[in-house]
Each structure stands twice: as C-alpha cells, then as structure tokens.
Amino acid sequence: MAKAKKPVSINGVQFDALIDEERTLEADSPDYPVEDGFSVNDTIILKPQMLSMTLCVTDTPVTWRNKGHGGRGWTDSVIQRLEKLYFNKTPVTIVTSERTYKNMAILSISISKSLEVGYSRQIPISFKEIRVTSSKKTTIPVSYGKSGDTGANAGTASSSAASTPPASTTSSSPPAGSGSGGSQNKASILYNLANSAGLLP
C-alpha cells in the first residue's frame, strides 16, 4: 500500500490510519448462449461496487497530529459520529489518498476493544455504492396530438365532473319512441323496409 498523503475521511470524520482496504467490482453475465455477432454489452449487468476497510483511531495519534487529531475523548467522538451516520442511513462520501467514493451506504461497522490495541480502536467497516439515476422530460410534437391522415385535432378530454339532472322536468311533448306517435314512426319504418325489399304486393 502506498504511503498515505492525507487521512481517510468519511463525511468529514477523519481517522488516524488505514490498516487495509479492499475494493470489489462484480458483474452478472448471461448464462444462455449468445448468437455470434450479437453485441453482449447490454447483457452484462454491472453491480454496485463494494468497499471494505479497516480504520484505526486513537486518542494519542502518531500521525496527522497537525490536523486536529487526538486528545482525550477523540476516539469516542469518532465512534459516535460513525454510529450517527449508520443509524440515520446517511449516504457517505469516502476520501482516501488514492480516490474518492461518493454515494456509499454503510453496510456494517465492527467496534471492538482489546488489550493489544489499548486505547485505540481498529474499526472494520464495509460500504456499498448507491446507484443514482436521473429522469428527463421532453416536449411531445404537436403532430402527435392530431388524428388521421388529415391531421385534424384529435379533441380534448373533459376533466369536469358529471352533472346531475334536475329533480323534475316538464315537457309539452312525449319522448321519441313513446306513446302513439312512437308507434306510428316504428310502423312507417317497417313498411318502408318491407316495400324496398319487394316483400309487399
């Protein structure tokens, strides 16, 4: 591992040392045969990258002292800030000497004490990338709102609520198709149909 040029930080929380780091890139490939000459780019699915590291924090640092590290209670304050990021489900930005990882979710944090490390803490922590997508809006051409070959306006839909007819209405003539007038109209129609078909003498 190359010599660190700056301390590792997680959303501004700085650590005294990076013990180890592992970055995992993984993809899914198709299990079925692919036809010769067919582009397979769309069939290979890239998974979000994973990051695991072990970080060290101590009240008596031997590195990065000039950056405000150390002092009584420093280790506890770092752990509390990490726990707050985890419980708040906050996506974090991780900065190392080699690269910056954005939109990372904290998957696990292990906080342990041992005689070997004394007042220091070695904290294994793992992250998973959160994929972020964006949506775009487009204007539909006016021609898409026309109908048929003539390009006539296809009309508009009404969004008004259906109206309720009055409780009572009055009319001076019976409705079409009702009473004697309706019977005469029906008879005339039947007569004309029969006559045009040659069924009448």
Is residue 185's pLDDT more than 80?
Answer: no
Average pLDDT of the chain, as a whole number:
74
Higher pLDDT, 27 or 61: 27
Is residue 128's pLDDT more than 80?
Answer: yes
Is residue 165's pLDDT more than 70?
Answer: no
The predicted-structure confidence for 71-96, as pLDDT tens digits, reads as follows 778 888 899 999 999 999 989 999 99
Tell which phi-psi region holds residue 190, choosing left (phi > 0), alpha (psi between -120 and 50) or beta: alpha
Is residue 175's pLDDT more than 70?
Answer: no
CB of 67 within 8 A of CB of 14?
A: yes
Burial (CB < 10 A; 0-12, 13-18, 19+), residue 11, is middle
Q: Name which of 24-28, 47-51, 162-166 the model is least confident about.
A: 162-166
Give the model's pLDDT for residue 23: 94
Structural domains in the chain, sorted by start: 9-31+41-129 (2.40.30)
Overall average pLDDT of the 153-181 stretch: 48
Q: Name which of 25-34, 74-83, 146-155, 161-170 the model is least confident about.
A: 161-170
The predicted-structure confidence for 39-73, as pLDDT tens digits, reads as follows 566 678 889 999 999 998 888 766 655 555 667 78
pTM over 0.75: no
Give the model's pLDDT for residue 48: 92
Is residue 107's pLDDT more than 90?
Answer: yes
